[in-house]
Amino acid sequence: MTVKPRILATRLFPNAVMERLSKTYDIVGTPTLAALSSVDILALSKQADAIFCDSTSRFDDEMITNLPKTVKMITTFSVGYDHLDVAAATHRGILLGNTPDVLTDATADIALLCMLGAARMAHSSAETLRNGAWESWAPTQFLGVHMSGKKLGILGMGRIGQAVARRARGFDMEIHYHNRRPVTARGLEEATYHGTLEELLPHCDFLSINCPLSDSTHHLINDTSIAMLPDGAVLVNTARGPIVEDAALIKALKTGKIASAGLDVFENEPKLNPNYLPLPNLFVLPHIGSATFETRDAMGFKCLDNLDAFFAGKNIPNPITL
């Protein structure tokens, strides 16, 4: 009888993904909606040949060093991999995989939702209505700003940044961006490239953050960079929370330097900084950028494609490398 490879799933993934996983592999433990703790992962990994995780499970140098030698691969249910120590895994000979390409459109859609929600004061107006405090239409109530015709700065012009730019063109927005290098892509023919963040920021009526989290981008948006934005700019982050320094953004929202912000990610998820809570000019979501049935299934299938290729002795389709 053929022995199935043993996979530790650090939590319960979508039904279609779990069904396919269980047909080909033996699942270690009983996955639940809650993510496993590091202690539990280390304990259960003694029975596993590979690990199927997501971005809520951190595999730093210490964690990877303590994994048993039986674990030969980790595939993550995410595009970003700042939760994985790639150097440590490479040193240990552990192969890493992720899920590029499949969540581009879903995340770009949420970026536009965050732009509109922030610009048009969606949170405060909806909260007033839900609380029964809206009495009548008024000429000066819930005033926001137009997106149409404004300048949109995009920080990070990868696949998601490009998708955000193409959607924003539907609002006749003027696209500016900063990236490691200029991008030539459909719909970006008239976009303006800026070689540095400092060159980009003064042109941003709206700023959309779409770059990866790394040592160089951690708290890249801080007091200094915010001061370079036009007064009354709108800031949107659908990338990773720690790219924006919460304390700096909260201060700017209070003073009006930032007119409003739309966040799908924030520092210390899932614990939102309580100083955000009283702010009427914040539109915030619980990291739902990829949260469609289609996208989450596709992400899981990418992880399974990585596992299938690895255990078949082939190159995995979506490797993470140094």
* Contact call for residues 59 and 84 (beta carbons, < 8 A): yes
pLDDT band at 166 (very low <50, low <70, confident <90, very high): very high
- What does the pLDDT look like over 66-100, one tens digit per residue? 999 999 999 999 999 999 999 999 999 999 999 99
* 135 has a pLDDT exceeding 80: yes
> For the chain, what percent of residues have pLDDT higher than 70?
100
Per the prediction, the chain carries an average pLDDT of 96
| Helix (H), strand (E), coil (C) string for the chain | CCCCCEEEECCCCCHHHHHHHHHHCEEECCCCCCCCCHHHHHHHHHHCCEEEECCCCCECHHHHHHCCCCCCEEEECCCCCCCECHHHHHHHCCEEECCCCCCHHHHHHHHHHHHHHHHCCHHHHHHHHHCCCCCCCCCCCCCCCCCCCCEEEEECCCHHHHHHHHHHHCCCCEEEEECCCCCCCCCCCCCEEECCHHHHHHHCCEEEECCCCCCCCCCCECHHHHHCCCCCEEEEECCCHHHECHHHHHHHHHHCCEEEEEECCCCCCCCCCHHHCCCCCEEECCCCCCCCHHHHHHHHHHHHHHHHHHHCCCCCCCECCC
- Estimate to the nearest angstrom the gap between the alpha carbon of 43 and the chain centroid: 29
Quote the pLDDT of residue 3.
Answer: 87
How far apart CA 27 and CA 50 sit, in angstroms, is 10
Q: Domains in the chain, start-ordered, CATH in brackets? A: 6-102+293-311 (3.40.50.720), 104-284 (3.40.50.720)
pLDDT tens track for 221-254: 999 999 999 999 999 999 999 999 999 999 999 9
pLDDT band at 1 (very low <50, low <70, confident <90, very high): low
Reply yes or no on whether the pLDDT at 43 is more than 90: yes
Beta strands 258-263 and 233-237, pairing class: parallel
Which pLDDT score, from 0 to 100, does residue 141 have?
94
The model's pLDDT over 251-295, given as tens digits with 9 standing for 90+, comes to: 999 999 999 999 999 999 999 999 999 999 999 999 999 999 999
pLDDT in tens, 179-210: 999 999 888 899 999 999 999 999 999 999 99
Q: Is residue 220 scored above 90 in pLDDT?
A: yes
- Which residues are known to be catalytic? 240, 269, 287
Question: What amino acid is encoded at 299 in this protein?
Answer: M
Whether the per-residue pLDDT at 307 is higher than 70: the answer is: yes
pLDDT-based confidence at residue 133 (cuts at 50, 70, 90) = very high
Percent of the chain scoring above 90 in pLDDT: 97
Phi, psi of 50 (to 5 degrees): -155, 165
Q: Please, which residues bridge with residue 221 across strands?
A: 244
Are 78 and 54 within 8 A, CB to CB?
yes
pLDDT score at 61: 97
